[in-house]
Amino acid sequence: MRHFIIVGILVIATAALTYFGLTAVGLMPVEASVQSLAIDWLFNYEIIAISFLFALIVVPLFYSLIVFRRRKGETGEGEYFEGNTPLEIGWTVAPLIVVIAFAYMGTYSLGEVRRVDPNAMEIKVTGFQWNWRFEYPEYGVTSNELHLPVNRQVVLKMESIDVLHSFFVPEFRMKQDVVPGRVTEYRVTPSLIGDYKVRCAEMCGTSHAYMGAPVIVSSAQDFDAWIKLQNAPADPVANGQKIIATNGCLGCHTIDGAKLVGPTWKGLYGKQETLADGSTITVDDAYLAESIVNPTAKIVQGYPPVMPPFNLKDQEIADVIAYLATLK
Amino acid sequence: MKRFFSSALMRGLFWQFIGTLVGAGLVTAIRAAMGLSVTDKFFFTEPAWVLGAFFGVLFFMVGTGVTSDWIKWARGIDPPEHHEERFQGWEKYVNISLDHKVIGVQYAITSLALICIGGLFALIFRTELAQSQLQFLTTDLSLFGQNGPQLYNTLMSLHGMIMIVSILLGIASAMNYVIPLMLGAQDMSFPRLNAFSFWIAVPAAILLLMSLVLGGFDTGWTGYPPLSARAPVGMQMFFLGVFTAGWSSILGALNIIVTVVRMRAKGMTAFRMPIFVWAAIATSIISLTATQLIGLSFQMVMFQRLFGMGFFDPGKGGNPILFQHLFWFYSHPAVYVFVLPGLGIISELLPVFVRKPLFGYRWIAMSSMAIALVGFVVWAHHMFTSGMNEYLRVPFMYSTLLVAVPTGVKFFSWIATIWKGKITTPTPMLFVLAGIVAFLMGGLSGPPNATVSVDLHLHDTYMIVGHFHDTIFGGFVFPFFAALYFWFPKATGRRMNETLGKLHFWLMTPAFFVLTLGMMRIGLLGMRRRIVDYDPAMGFDSTHMVLTIAAFLIALAVLIFLYNFFNSIKNGEKAEGNVWNSRSPEWQVPSPMPAHNYDQPFEVVGEPYDYGLAGSKYVEFIKSEKSAHN
Amino acid sequence: MSHTQDKSSAFQQGIVIFVYLAALTALEYFVAVVFTAIPILVLIAFIKVALVMYYYMHIYKLNEESDSDRDSYSYKTGSNRFGLWLFLLSDAFVFGGLLVSRINLLGFTRPPLNQTLGLAVTAVLLLSSFFMNRGETAMAHGDKKGFVVNTMITLALGLGFLLGVVAVEWPNAAREGLTASGNVAGGIFYMMTGMHAFHVFTGLIFLGIILNNNRKGVYSAEKHWGVEAAAVYWHFVDLVWIFFYPALYLIGKLL
Ligand code: HEA
Ligand code: HEA
Ligand code: CUA
Ligand SMILES: [Cu+2]
């Protein structure tokens, strides 16, 4: 009996220490979304349960090791008892109840996380190797940065054009894979103004580690101001540069003469290009436009035919070409 | 030396080389005849490498001679029933043997070799991770056709899969060596199949390693398409390697089940089997059936790459998520394949060192079965964020959490076993205890992953990495070391050095806890897995440095173990009796075990774990004119 | 029906079962053509599988008490039989996986295939199972000649099935526009039939081996595990086709 009392006290003490220790360290990043509250709420209870169960096993284990160790010169065997069915049933049923409780809480928490606001702003997200593009259909804006107004639910409709990616913002506590051939959904209500980062969380190849984009949560006014700025007409070259950035061209091309997957653009405009079949061609507007819309039509010598076709509007193509022409 | 080069192992490797050339040459010739390209970045084209790899495996198997008895059978010649050991000493282990004990040792050595290779890879990429930014795996690097980040991905992915294969071989080694001894059988039911199961793992390992030099691959061990449909040729070698290793697992499991059902000693009823046998049965049920599905999923990607079949290609109406279902249908139950034998070893060894009966034997036996069976219906918890049908997430959360219940039964029963024992702590017991604590931490970090909303945050972070290193170390690595220290005397008649064993333990255990707790810590803060570089702004640099140091300490501990292991074979203290004072039948006869196991058959006359019950006996040798074999 | 009989009633039973199977296949085809009732098709498939497993593959033998002498032929055969069934169980998971993939990818649609050809190869395979059963029964009763004749027929029919699928149905489907690299329906069709054909091919090799071994006098009425194994394996291949045939040819709307 004495043993049980001591162990019981120790278990509770250890559990409490573990729990407070863990929470004192601070386990999670800041809570920057409404959804993170429901998640952290559940996680907190899980940490309590884990601390307790950890103590419940480890304390009797170490206690036995110390108290029931074989002392020098001792012979003989341990106390003989083979089992105890009520006890076994007890420690089957008790965890079962705990587990069902957690499953129930998990369902509730998931419901909170997925709670739909009918006024949510829709944003179209495209993931590709190795960048993100965000389109705001409401405002006709496309960007490489995700700007969000605080305290308004947004729903991201996400798609991939190549392989799997995953949209992950640790401060929002959520991630969702981005899958080619289907649209996945990510609902978040940012609750804290600040700068965060989307980080791709699904292995997507060589530069997976670097596939990120800024997430800027700002006040409604700042958000509107940003939208205005985006809508302001830009000059073709600047616009071309932006299109290049939002389409991930720089994953394969450089503007400084270095060779990546594709040829560099430095000095491209107007030069004589040798094609895979040995013929040469002058790089003019028509060739460039074709190279973008239908890249496999003419393959540059020494390069694999891996560039995907890009579906750009005529104006956008013109802007890109205008930009390319500046790269001397 | 000369005898080494003419061993079955070397013959096999030679023939694998030839087979690869023949297969690849064949495809190349056909392609040439059809006017297709014949060479590629890695000399042969992809189809040529694939057929080459396949032929390599076939040639290896035939070249070693494991299949020759079957070929004789097929030709109507009856090969001799009992094979006498043709080799002595170390030569036994590099040649074909049908003795389950030899095969068990072969498995163990191969497993250790793979742990070292996989661990070496971990050390390489951990060194890169010690600081943010790229240090030596830079974009300028070019090795085996890969730049630094790509090489990181390859090393990381291979680390995962090689370690997993090494686990599969590790548990096979324990099951092979111990189970027939525990059952009182002369050997496994199908000794030739047993040898086949072991030997096919060797070319499989070679294929896995080949993927490193053939351009590598960058998908992680999970090989998700569409990325895996685009990766370099190395991907195919990886697929084929795993596919081949899968056969080792399937056939080994088949053999175990038949052996347990058909070869038990007289009086050994289901609930009088040693508890490890139950664990082996539960494990084997999973390996036997589920393994086929990882094979199938990999085969489908292989074919998608070779023949353009669009299973996982959305452009052709395929579905990338289907792959994940097929893959995890095996790969989740597989994690219980990793741990159930380990937990069985824990249950097996605890009573010996506590000198008390195993508390709740039947409950522990049944909990293994429950874990295995429930394990079949939880696979989609790896896919909570995958974009699969959303309503599936809740039932899979429930089923996943359910696994905690039978696992808990084990833990509570272990604690009740230890309670009021007379505990001693030689090296094997230390590893058992550390295994319990480590697995507890790993197990308890499971339920948070299982609750969907929390997993939205945890998925694909180092929290998961920490979770599974904990469960794997607790459920496999520590128990495996315990088993090696424990049964070493049975195999060699000598003991491993106790001081070095303790040093190994006290070096590895703290380092391991630092490693996995550190992983979980940064994972919760948002450190993603499978990245070669992390944002310095996240402030993980110092933790990562600590993790890397811990990794090197583990490696040092493993090196000490290896020295101790190989040194003790020759120079260890003699230990031919029942060193641990165990009741298990194999310890009732002198070590090392004779070639045909027991000279006299035994009969089970009592419960296996009645330590402390005066006058009780588990087995009794039958003293009759008719001895076990002749 | 019981399963311990003399030779002629064993043969007779084989015929009766074959008639059942043939009638069920015809019914299946009829149901599929007239109204698309998938539950009925599934039910029929399961009835067929039960018949094949019990009467052709004699699964009940797993339960047979064997000799207590572990070195005896009958004890070893018992172990072998158990091992073989475990292998088939394992293999069934591959085919199960393929079926699941087919349902996941195509749902209630099916690829455009030649119905007549499908029914023809199915009939051939079913017939081969019938002769396999006769061959094995003959051997069990010491009738070596009956064994050889029936097994030869099985081999010929099996070859016919294999060629029917690989050399006739495949090119035919390809002409109709169903190619492996085209739509995913083509991919899954070639994968399923290909994996099945591969098993038929290995089954044929086993048949060749037992014929050759018989020539060398390896088998007797009492000791013919090899024959039994090859036969059970052959029926298993048939059993897989019992599911694959409706899955590919009968279920769902035409794509
Ligand atoms: C050895 C292997 C092993 C084991 C045993 C486990 C055990 C468990 N695992 Fe783990 N897991 C892996 C290896 C393993 N896992 C690997 C390798 C991955 C990553 C794969 C990859 O993506 O690469 C993974 C990933 C993984 C995920 C996916 C995470 C993600 O990617 O998003 C999940 C989610 O549910 C999960 C859950 C669990 C659970 C609930 C258990 C349970 O079985 C744990 C049960 C044990 C206990 C709970 C402790 C003891 C019980 C008690 C003391 C009783 C009382 C307890 C309660 C009431 C809670 N695991
Ligand atoms: C058995 C399973 C197992 C084991 C034992 C280990 C052991 C270790 N693992 Fe890992 N690990 C996995 C299974 C395992 N791992 C899996 C499945 C993954 C997932 C992969 C994926 O995401 O796809 C993973 C991923 C993984 C990651 C995440 C990588 C990423 O996501 O980017 C990390 C990072 O630190 C890591 C580290 C380690 C370390 C430091 C060890 C250390 O314990 C290693 C210690 C070293 C040794 C045991 C070797 C010692 C021996 C020598 C040094 C001698 C060498 C000499 C000779 C060759 C003779 N592992
Ligand atoms: Cu995109 Cu990782
Ligand atoms: Cu899992």
Q: Is residue C2 part of a domain?
A: no
Interface contact A29-B320, CB threshold 8 A: no
pLDDT of the residue at C1: 43
pLDDT of the residue at A279: 84
Q: Once rounded to an integer, what is the mean pLDDT over residues A285-301?
A: 85
For residue C22, the distance in angstroms to the closest alpha carbon of chain B comes to 31
Q: Is residue C145 part of a domain?
A: yes
- Model confidence at C2, pLDDT cuts 50, 70, 90, reads very low
| A172 CA → ligand 3 middle, Å | 18
Q: Is-contact A159 A180, C-beta < 8 A?
A: yes
Q: Which among B356, B412, B450 has CB closest to A79? A: B356
Number of B to C CB contacts under 8 A, please give it.
Answer: 108
Concatenated DSSP letters for A35-72? HHHHHHHHHHHHHHHHHHHHHHHHHHHHHHHHHTBPPT
Cα atoms in the Cβ-side hemisphere of radius 13 Å centred on C193: 28
Put simply, whether C65 touches B (Cβ < 8 Å) is: no
Put simply, whether C190 touches B (Cβ < 8 Å) is: yes
- Mean pLDDT taken over chain B: 91
Rg of chain A on CA atoms, in Å: 30
User: Taking CA B171 as the corner, what is the angle to CA B167 and CA B172, rounded to the nearest 5 degrees?
Assistant: 110
Q: Is residue C95 part of a domain?
A: yes
Ligand 3 touching residue A283 (CB < 6 A) = no
pLDDT digits 0-9 by tens, B380-417: 999 999 988 888 999 999 999 999 999 999 999 999 99
Q: Cα(A317)–Cα(A240) distance, rounded to whole angstroms?
A: 8
ipTM over 0.85: yes
Query: Exposed/middle/buried for C123, CB within 10 Å: 0-12, 13-18, 19+?
Result: middle
Q: Which residue of C has its CA nearest to B266?
A: C68
Q: Cα(A14)–Cα(A56) distance, rounded to whole angstroms?
A: 9
pLDDT of the residue at C165: 93
Q: Is-contact A201 A168, C-beta < 8 A?
A: yes
Ligand 3 touching residue A204 (CB < 6 A) = yes
Beta carbons within 10 angstroms of residue C38's beta carbon = 14
Concatenated DSSP letters for B549-614? HHHHHHHHHHHHHHHHHHHHHHHSPB--S-TT---SGGGGSPSSPPTTS-SS-EEE-S-TT-TTST
CATH number for the domain formed by residue range(s) A121-231: 2.60.40.420
pLDDT of the residue at C4: 54
- Model confidence at B629, pLDDT cuts 50, 70, 90, reads very low
- Model confidence at C255, pLDDT cuts 50, 70, 90, reads low
Which residues are paired to A300 by β-bridges?
Answer: A275
Q: Cα(B421)–Cα(B356) distance, rounded to whole angstroms?
A: 6
pLDDT digits 0-9 by tens, B453-484: 999 999 999 999 999 999 999 999 999 999 99
What CA–CA distances, in Å, run from B194 to B189, C75, C93, C234?
9, 19, 22, 24
Chain C contact set for B325 (CB, 8 A): 100, 104
Interface of C with B in 14-43 (CB under 8 A): none
pLDDT digits 0-9 by tens, A53-96: 999 999 999 999 999 888 888 887 888 888 888 889 999 999 99
Reading the block at residue A222, the tokens are 């700042």
List pocket residues of ligand 1, CB cut-off 6 Å: A 53, 57, 95, 98-99; B 222, 335, 338-339, 381-382, 400, 403-404, 407-408, 411, 440, 443-444, 446-447, 449-450, 455, 458-460, 464, 467-468, 471-472, 475
Atom of ligand 1 nearest to the CA of B460: 31
pLDDT of the residue at A74: 81
Chain C contact set for B307 (CB, 8 A): 180-181, 187, 190
Give the DSSP H or E segment for B32.
Answer: helix B8-34
Concatenated DSSP letters for C191-227? HHHHHHHHHHHHHHHHHHHHHHHHHTT---SS--HHH
Task: Please give the tally of structural domains in chain C.
Answer: 1
pLDDT beyond 90 at B591: no
Q: Which residue of B has its CA nearest to A184?
A: B387
pLDDT beyond 70 at B168: yes
For residue C124, the distance in angstroms to the closest alpha carbon of chain B comes to 27
Residues 6+ apart with CB under 8 A from C116: none
pLDDT beyond 50 at B628: no
- Mean pLDDT taken over chain C: 89
Best of C100, C101, C106, C189 to mutate (most B CBs within 10 Å, chain B):
C101
Q: Cα(B369)–Cα(B228) distance, rounded to whole angstroms?
A: 34
Whether the bond between B379 and the residue before it is cis, its omega within 30 degrees of 0, is no
Q: Is-contact B445 B470, C-beta < 8 A?
A: yes
Q: Is-contact C136 C211, C-beta < 8 A?
A: no
Q: Once rounded to an integer, what is the mean pLDDT over residues B490-506?
A: 93
pLDDT beyond 70 at B157: yes
pLDDT digits 0-9 by tens, A9-27: 999 999 999 999 999 888 8
Which residues are paired to A217 by β-bridges?
Answer: A148, A194
Share of chain B above pLDDT 90, in %: 69
The CATH number of residue C124's host domain is 1.20.120.80
Q: Which residue, B617, B363, B583, is CA-closest to A82?
A: B363
pLDDT beyond 60 at B96: yes
Q: Cα(B116)–Cα(A55) distance, rounded to whole angstroms?
A: 34
Q: Is residue C204 part of a domain?
A: yes
Q: Which residue of B has its CA nearest to C86?
A: B254
Interface contact B454-A50, CB threshold 8 A: no
| B86 CA → ligand 4 middle, Å | 44
Domains (ranges, CATH) in chain B?
1-76 (no CATH), 97-624 (1.20.210.10)
Q: Which among B424, B460, B526 has CB closest to A202? A: B460
Q: Cα(B67)–Cα(B81) distance, rounded to whole angstroms?
A: 15
Ligand number nearest to the C-alpha of B548: 2
Structural domain of C107? 7-254
Phi, psi dihedrals of residue A146, rounded to the nearest 5° = -100, 105
Q: Is-contact B476 B167, C-beta < 8 A?
A: yes
Sign of CA dihedral C40, B297, B54, B307: positive
User: Taking CA B109 as the corner, what is the angle to CA B103 and CA B114, rounded to the nearest 5 degrees?
Assistant: 125
Q: Is-contact A65 B433, C-beta < 8 A?
A: yes
Ligand 3 touching residue A208 (CB < 6 A) = yes
- Mean pLDDT taken over chain A: 89
Beta carbons within 10 angstroms of residue A302's beta carbon = 9
CATH superfamily of A236-325: Cytochrome c-like domain (1.10.760.10)
pLDDT digits 0-9 by tens, A179-201: 998 999 999 999 999 999 999 99
What CA–CA distances, in Å, run from B547 to B129, B131, B441, B552?
9, 11, 18, 9
Lowest mean pLDDT among B142-146, B532-536, C124-128: B142-146
Q: Is residue C177 part of a domain?
A: yes
Whether the bond between B226 and the residue before it is cis, its omega within 30 degrees of 0, is yes
| B447 CA → ligand 1 middle, Å | 7
Q: Which among A27, A54, A60 has CB closest to B415? A: A60
